[in-house]
Every structure is written in C-alpha cells, then in structure tokens.
Amino acid sequence: MRFTLLAALMTLGVVAAFAAGTAASTVGAPGGKAMTRSIHQFTVRTIDGKDRSLGEYRGKVLLVVNTASKCGFTPQYEGLEALYEKYRARGFEVLAFPANNFMGQEPGTDTEIAQFCDLNYKTTFPLFSKVSVKGTDITPLYAWLTKQPGFEGDIGWNFTKFLVGPDGHVLARYGSRTEPRNEKLVAQIEAALPAMKE
C-alpha cells in the first residue's frame, strides 16, 4: 500500500513537472519574461507623441515599413498611400516607422517628417515616431520582426516591408526594391484580407 501511494505521488510529480515545463516553453522565456507571440502585444508612439497599442489593429492586415525622407526609395510613399486608399476599407493598414539608420537619410524631427509626408505625398496612413530599426538601440518592435522564423535578419535599408496577418503574425518580408504595388505583394495582401466586396 505504501509503495503504491509513493509510486502514485511520484507519477503525479512527473506529470506536474512536465506540465509546468510545457507551460514555460509556450508562454514564458528564460528569466521569467513572457514571450511576445504577435505584433499586437507592442505599444508604440505615434508621430504626434501618443502611445498606441498595436492591439488596436487586431483583425487587420498590416504592412509595416521603415521609411526615410531623403532616400532613393522615398517616392514609395506614393505607392504606399495608393495601397492604403485602395484596401483600407477592407481592413488594411500601412504602419510607417521613420528611421535614421542608413546614411542619415531621415534626419528630421517627428514634426518635420509629418510635414514632409503631408506636403509631398499627402499621406493619410499612420506615421509613428522615429525609431531605430537595427543595432544596439533597435526598438523592441523591430527586434521582434527581424527574429521571426523564416523572416530573420537585420534590416538592410529603408523601405523594408513586413506583411502581417490579422492574427498578428508575419506573413512575408520584402526588401527595399519591392515597390508597394508589386504584383506578388498585392496578391498576398488581397489573399490575407477578410473576404468581402470592395
């Protein structure tokens, strides 16, 4: 009887330890920090200085882009705005994060960047406060984006694009040379959008 009780307790202990280990591997990380499993868990600052939870975009398809005002790819702002205007009613958002990581091509303040985008490209999609997208001071959002399985690697230049699905997971990554109206990118956006009439 005593042996049977001891064996049962040991079994329960093993099961409990296994369950605890499984839970830790799925919802936690070394050091007791919670793992970030989707883009919706980040809070970022808008270009006018307000905190915004990316959880507000849950259920929407996102194109996250690091932008710059003095880059050879800066005219892509026009294509980004065109995409936004075409698909926003179906649940699509462009999230632009100005960054000065590449040859000082985004030297302006948030106010100057906002004015530049409005005057030159009439952008209406969300602009966020200037961030760092690589290096030791990389912003947490980009640290996460650049470590997603299948899409890993440092940002190479301005206007790198991450397509994020309604569930907050990365679907695709495109380099600077991929224009916003690239056929493959547009097809992936359309495939990810909720089914509805335009």
* pLDDT tens-digit map of 17-70: 333 333 322 233 334 344 568 999 999 999 999 999 999 999 999 999 999 999
Same structural domain, 96 and 65: yes
Rounded to two decimals, the pTM is 0.82
Residue from 45, 52, 71, 90 carrying the catalytic annotation: 71
Q: Is 71 a catalytic residue?
A: yes
Give yes or no: residues 52 and 18 share one domain. Answer: no
Buried b (16+ CB within 10 A) or exposed e, 35-65: ebebbbbbebeebeeeeeebeebeebbbbbb
End-to-end CA distance of the chain: 71
The partner residues of 62 in beta bridges, in order of sequence, read 93, 164
Same domain (yes/no): 18, 48: no
For residue 53, give Cα distances in angstroms to 44, 63, 89, 165. 6, 16, 21, 16
Containing structural domain, residue 8: 2-32
Question: Does 197 reside within a domain?
Answer: no
- Average pLDDT in the 105-119 region? 98
Shared-domain flag, residues 154 and 80: yes
Instruction: Supply the CATH number for residue 135's domain.
Output: 3.40.30.10
Do 67 and 24 belong to one domain?
A: no
Task: Write the pLDDT tens digit of every residue in 150-188.
Answer: 999 999 999 999 999 999 999 999 999 999 999 999 999
Number of domains present in the structure of the chain: 2
Of 69, 42, 66, the residue nearest 56 (C-alpha): 42
In the three-class reduction of DSSP (H, G, I as helix; E, B as strand; rest coil), residue 31 is classed as helix
